[in-house]
Amino acid sequence: MSQQVLSVTQINEYIRGMMDEDALLAGVAVKGEISNYKVYPSGHHYFTIKDEGAALKCVMFRSSAVRLKFRPENGMKIIAMGKISVYPRDGAYQLYCTAMTLDGVGDLYAAFEQLKEKLSRQGLFDPVHKKPLPQYPGTIGIITSSAGAAIHDMLRILRKRYPLTQVRLLPVRVQGAEAPGEIAAAIAYANHFHLADLLIVGRGGGSIEDLWAFNDEQVARAIFDSEIPVISAVGHEPDVTISDFVADLRAATPSNAAELAVPDQDGLRQLLDSVSESMVTALQRQLKASRRQLDILRASPALQSPIVYIGQRKKALELLSSRLGSSGQQVINRHRQRFIAYTAKLEAMSPLKVLTRGYAMAQTSTGEVIRSTSQTQIGDTVNVIVGDGSFETVVSKIKENVQ
Amino acid sequence: MNQNNKTFEENMQRLEQIVRAMERGDVALDESLKLFQEGTQLVRSCEKLLDEAQLQVNKIATAADGSPVEEAFSDER
């Protein structure tokens, strides 16, 4: 026997490999009715979809299930998207479902997805193209039906929040075959004549068919080409249209668009109050600082009581001058003592002092001290000075010492 | 041109400058007093503009030459 024997695991893996290589099975959309729907604590959803003659097991993992836009229930007709593969443990194939939509809108949904994909590729949704909205729009252009509830909702909110703005309504049909052309033309017209600082384009809620004009490529391109910032305001919260992706801002509803378009006057009045408060606080702080400076100056003695201050200064001056006086006396005394000492020294060295010890000094008549016999001749009068006076004498004999 | 709105916007911008200058605290006291007076007047003027504002609503129609014409639009129901 050359027949190859395989384990169950091997055969299941083989089949799984075959199915995973199949291009059709890798991305299918299957329509049918939900039955046996179960949500496990893990967050994964398990269910079966069936038609008259067949059933298909499905699993939707938590990561995909959290993105569901509605709550699936048994009996619902749906289209489930995902890939078909084998669950080897059970030897069963199943649909690994990644998205689910309600059936009946299947064709529109496909068209929507295609256009969304195309415009996204062309960069129409790119955040770099989103224009900032004016903070205080002077004129708001509203492109919607003049008959619907949407315009009234918007005007009511604008009137309440920010009546300083003015509204220009550009009435258009918002559903039916003519709607996309009218909406696109109104956007272009508002731009051409600079009719507004901000545009709101939208309508109230309705069926997906009713909202279809806002999934039109012509409208999407008109919004993209608008120099004036555009808020899209289509239907109710969960409705998302192509216009929402292209617009500079998406509002959940027309009322919400009016709220996003303008500041709220209650908030503005609060802001004005806090501005006033800030100014008062800043001014008070500055006044306080100035007053503190003034207090410091005022506390200075010169300003507080000039007479006392002058008295104080006078006393200080007297103290200083008396200190100066006494120190001056000390200096004089010191000098006097030094003078007495010097005088004593001088006296000790005086030639007159020598004379008191018995020496005498002779002077010529002209007052020269006689040191040599040659300075005198016989008959000259010589003045002799001794310790207590002097006398004159006449030279009668000269003797020179023999050396 | 919506003059009241423009005035409001300009007042708000000027108020922002005034508060910033006063909070920086590097202007002289007499200058601060002047700013305070100016700011207080601007606040009052802004409040008055809000108090007296009446939302104007017009419908745009197209004239024969294609230019826009404003028509009164009443949304009172």
Task: Say how far apart CA A17 and CA A15 lie, in whole Å.
Answer: 5
**What is the pLDDT of chain A when averaged over all its residues?**
89
What are phi and psi for residue A211, nearest 5 degrees? Answer: -85, 0
Name the minimum distance, in Å, from the CA of A211 to any CA of chain B. 23
How does residue A1 score in pLDDT terms, banded at 50, 70 and 90?
Answer: low
Output the CA–CA distances (angstroms, integers) from residue A62 to A46, A59, A96, A101, A103, in the order listed.
10, 10, 12, 17, 22
Percentages helix, strand, coil for chain B (3-state, rounded to 5) are 60, 15, 25
Give the orientation angle of helix B29-52 with respect to helix B3-24, to 10 degrees. Answer: 150
Angle between helix B29-52 and helix A265-298 axes, rounded to 10 deg: 160
Q: What average pLDDT does range A78-91 have in this prediction?
A: 91
Domain A8-104 fold is: OB fold (Dihydrolipoamide Acetyltransferase, E2P) (2.40.50)
Whether residue B42 contacts residue B66, with contact meaning beta carbons closer than 8 Å, is answered with: no
The one-digit pLDDT tens for each residue of chain B (77 residues) are 689 999 999 999 999 999 999 988 788 888 999 999 999 999 999 999 999 999 999 999 999 999 999 998 887 65
pLDDT, residue A263, reads 96
- pLDDT tops 80 at residue A373: yes
Q: Which residues contact residue A108 at a Cβ distance below 8 angstroms, ignoring those fewer than 6 apart?
A: A208, A209, A212, A215
**pLDDT category, A137, cuts 50, 70, 90?**
very high
Q: Cβ B55–A189 below 8 Å, yes or no?
A: no
d(CA A320, CA A370): 60
CA distance A219 to chain B (A): 19
The SS3 call for residue A145 is: coil
Which residues touch A99 (CB under 8 Å, ≥6 apart)? A64, A67, A80, A81, A82
Which chain B residue's Cα is nearest to A273? B43
d(CA A173, CA A147): 9
Please choose, from the candidates A192, A200, A197, the residue with its C-alpha nearest in 3D space to the C-alpha of residue A170: A200
Q: Which pLDDT does position B75 carry in this prediction?
A: 73
Angle at which helices B3-24 and A265-298 cross, to 10°: 30
The whole-number pLDDT of residue A306 equals 77
Residue A247 has φ and ψ, to the nearest 5°, of: -60, 160
User: Which among B22, B70, B77 is the nearest to A282, CB-wise?
Assistant: B22
Which of A141, A169, A279 lies nearest to residue B19, judging by beta carbons?
Answer: A279
Strand ranges in A339-396 using DSSP code E only, listed in sequence order:
361-363, 381-386, 389-394
Tens-digit pLDDT profile for residues A14-44: 999 999 999 899 999 999 999 999 999 999 9
pLDDT digits (tens, 9 = 90+) for A106-121: 556 767 888 898 999 9
Average pLDDT of span A364-392:
87
Report domain extents, chain A.
Answer: 8-104, 129-263, 304-345, 353-394
Chain B CB contacts of A135 under 8 Å are 9
User: Could you tell me if residue B44 is left (phi over 0), alpha (psi between -120 and 50 degrees) or otherwise beta?
Assistant: alpha
Structure tokens at B49: 């503009």
pLDDT at position A299 is: 82
CA distance A193 to A177: 26
Nearest C-alpha neighbor of B2 from the set A167, A193, A271, A186: A167
**For residue B49, what is the nearest residue in chain A, using CA coordinates?**
A164
State the nearest Cα–Cα gap between A285 and chain B, in angstroms.
9
Domain that holds residue B19: 3-72
Cβ separation of B22 and A135 shorter than 8 Å? no
How close, in Å, is residue A222 to chain B by CA atoms?
Answer: 19
Distance CA A154, CA A251 (A): 12
Encoded tokens for A116: 């969304």
DSSP A369: B
pLDDT in tens, A307-346: 888 888 888 888 888 888 788 788 888 888 888 888 888 7
The per-residue pLDDT for A403 is 56
Q: Considering just the CA atoms, what is the radius of gyration of chain A in Å?
A: 61
Residues A270-310 have pLDDT tens digits of 999 999 999 999 999 988 888 888 888 888 877 777 788 88
In a domain, B50, yes or no: yes
Total domain count for chain B?
Answer: 1
Identify whether B32 is part of a domain.
yes
Asked if residues A8 and A88 have their Cβ atoms less than 8 Å apart, the reply is no
Q: What is the CATH number of domain A129-263?
A: 3.40.50.2300
Does the pTM surpass 0.80? The reply is no
Percent of chain A with pLDDT over 90: 52
Specify if B77 maps to a domain: no
